[in-house]
Chain A
Amino acid sequence: MRSSFNSIRRFTYLLAGAAFAVTSLQATGDTAVIKGSKAASMESCVAETNDIRRNHMDYLKHQRVETVRDGIRGAKFSLIDCVECHASKDNDGNALPVTDEGQFCEACHAYVAVSPACFQCHRTTPMQGNGSLGAVDLEQMKFQSLNASSLKEWHPVIHAGSESAR
């Protein structure tokens, strides 16, 4: 009697688990990426989709320490890249914030009832492209290609001075 009750209970758990699995698959199925975002045109995320779904928060948290504290940039996991790929565009071609209702980040975070603070500080639209750039002037972006070797070309006066001083 007791064992049959146990088996019924186990079966109920199994049923509930299966139902949950089905609903979560529907909610986070392969169509979760927003149509029209860069991510929609790509085969997979920077790692296996299931891995990213489960662990992206830990990857990002780990990476943020390395970047802020040790200056290690260009890591595999980057919040900038999340936004870059997952932001979609409206009809006018302007990037929509990933935190807008129904957008990639917001939709899933709302579904699982978490409110990460990432986007209180981090930009919610891609920096390049048609997104609105706020106070940042696109003209300024050209300076990003400057580096130590090009310094000599645009800073000839100082360099000539230092060479003669040596």
Chain B
Amino acid sequence: MSVKNDQPDMNRRKFVGTTVAAAGAVVVAPGVLLHTVAGADPESRGASAKHRWGMLIDANKCAEGCSACVDACNSEHGLTGHDRPATDAQWIRAVKLKDNSTGHINRLVMMCQHCEHPPCVDVCPTGASFKRTDGIVLVDRHICIGCRYCMMACPYKARSFVHEDLENQSVNAPRGKGCVEGCTMCVHRIDRGETVTACQEACHDTGHGAIVFGDLKDPDSEISQALKSQNSRQIRADLKLNTGVRYSNL
């Protein structure tokens, strides 16, 4: 941390002091220290590479005319619009896919696919677009310059740009004019130790249950079991992005 004033940097001094103390402690009692780290409370533990968060969306269960997940997402993150669908922020949207040769219509929800190899991160000139260790792809608005390269790079059209000044944002999702944004997989909930996203919750509450959210790295998780037992696919799997969001019955 850089302190831009004329005071002696007490943190640096403290850091040197604690480093010496910690080195001593490591030598004296490694067992005790390790135990403390393992027992840290969930609020402060942060993202971990032991997890990879993902979703499975059942296109058959996604019901015509239902917008529960979209509404829940808007409410959870305080997303407001100006009745301008072309430019209003949209973190999750319902789309219809029609097979022209058979006339069969598929309905599904589309949002950030939280790729393992995200193109938005590749193209970001400032490093604002990034992937957390637990696989969630986010925008760091503190350094986003609003160039929108990521919006162009995303094959899923998953990101939005905020065009106008905002007020009354949710504490769940600080957001403002001039930044790009997209689905965060309800990262504020995950960091609290919850494993339910707003959209999954809303979809369940309507009785459709089309969305399963969970840890792809945990073989016993709901989503891992579901992915193991049924056929599923990634959208634009040809791009080899290894998406965190998968679809079944598509």
Contact = CB atoms under 8 A, between A and B. Distances in A.
A155 to B, nearest CB: 6
Size band of the interface chain B makes with A: 35 or more
Interface stretch (A2-10, A12-20, A157-165): A157-165
B179 A121 contact: yes
A68 B142 contact: yes
Contacts of A124: 167
Interface in A119-165: 120-125, 127, 132-137, 140, 143-144, 146-148, 151, 154-155, 157-159, 162, 165
A61 interface: yes
- Quick one: which of B3, B74, B80, B132 has the most chain A CB within 10 A? B3
Contacts of B191: 71-73
A115 interface: no
A127 B171 contact: yes
Contacts of B3: 55, 58
B171 A120 contact: no
A134 B45 contact: no
B216 to A, nearest CB: 15
Contacts of A54: 5, 7
Interface residues of A, number: 46
A92 B187 CA distance: 34
A64 interface: yes
A165 B225 contact: yes
Given A69-B140, A122-B169, A123-B168, A140 B193 contact: no
B193 A147 contact: yes
Given A74-B43, A135-B78, A143-B196, 6 more contacts: A68-B138, A80-B171, A121-B176, A127-B171, A135-B170, A155-B204
5 contacts: A54-B7, A69-B130, A71-B47, A121-B176, A134-B170
Interface of A: 54-55, 58-59, 61-62, 64-66, 68-75, 80, 120-125, 127, 132-137, 140, 143-144, 146-148, 151, 154-155, 157-159, 162, 165-166
